[in-house]
Amino acid sequence: MQQIILPELEQLRKQTDFIINNKDILENKDIEKYLRDLEKIRYEIFNKIKINNKEKMNENEKINYINNSYKATLVNDILKIYIPETLPKFKNISNYAYKNIMISTAECVKKYSGLFKENLTFVLIIVHEKQCNMDIDNKYVKPIIDALVLQNIIKDDNINNMFYLAQGKNDTKKPFTEVFVMNGEYITGWIEKVQKMF
């Protein structure tokens, strides 16, 4: 397996050496490019590990990596999804971060296909980070919603089929994201009460 990912590691080493050797003249755009490239390399390595693991019959020969930690459970008609990383910010979004979160989330929820297909669905997204001034409105939630549509858990992501709320919490050293998917009736009544107050 190590031989398979050597090209990516070599590419990462060259880019890291460039950043270190030119630290005095770097601009923000150089660092942003490095971070995008880092995310691309991470995605490519994860893909190779995923393919490697599918080919291995013996569990002990499989490589454990972050995508193995995505989990989905259903309790009292509420689907809980655990994402072992935080969501990217709009500013720092890369196709690779989006793809990895979407594909890994879709993979862990596929057995719940059709669960909320006919109902207005509410999605609660809680991002846990060690950051007291997190701007939750800057978090990119689209990969989660797209994964739910991809696996037919919700019919579509338009206003007739779903709505969501995102909350940020400064309560952990190791960032992660929780998602709770449920029938919209859990919250539409409360929303109507708030509207009637005015």
In this structure, the answer to whether residues 26 and 121 fall within a common structural domain is: no
Detail the DSSP E strand segments found in the chain. 71-75, 78-83, 121-129, 162-170, 176-183
122 and 165, same domain (yes or no): yes
> Measured between alpha carbons, how far is 196 from 183 in angstroms, rounded to an integer?
22
Give residues with Cβ within 8 angstroms of 57, minimum separation 6. none
CA 91 to chain centre: 16
β-partners of residue 144 are none
For residue 42, give its domain range: 2-61
Q: In this predicted structure, what is the pLDDT of residue 172?
A: 81
pTM for this one?
Answer: 0.78
- Cβ neighbors of 17 (< 8 A, separation 6 or more) are none
Rounded CA gap, 65 and 68, in Å?
A: 6
Same domain, 72 and 161: yes
Same-domain pairing of 77 and 133: yes
Q: How many domains does the chain divide into? A: 2
Do 127 and 190 share a domain, yes or no?
yes
Per-residue pLDDT of the chain (198 residues; tens, 9 = 90+): 566 677 888 888 888 998 899 888 889 888 888 888 888 888 888 888 888 777 888 888 877 777 788 999 999 999 999 999 888 777 656 677 788 889 899 999 999 999 998 889 999 999 999 888 888 877 889 999 999 999 999 999 999 999 999 999 998 888 999 999 999 999 999 999 999 999
* Cβ neighbours of 36 (radius 10 Å): 16
∠ CA(183), CA(125), CA(189), 5° rounding? Answer: 35
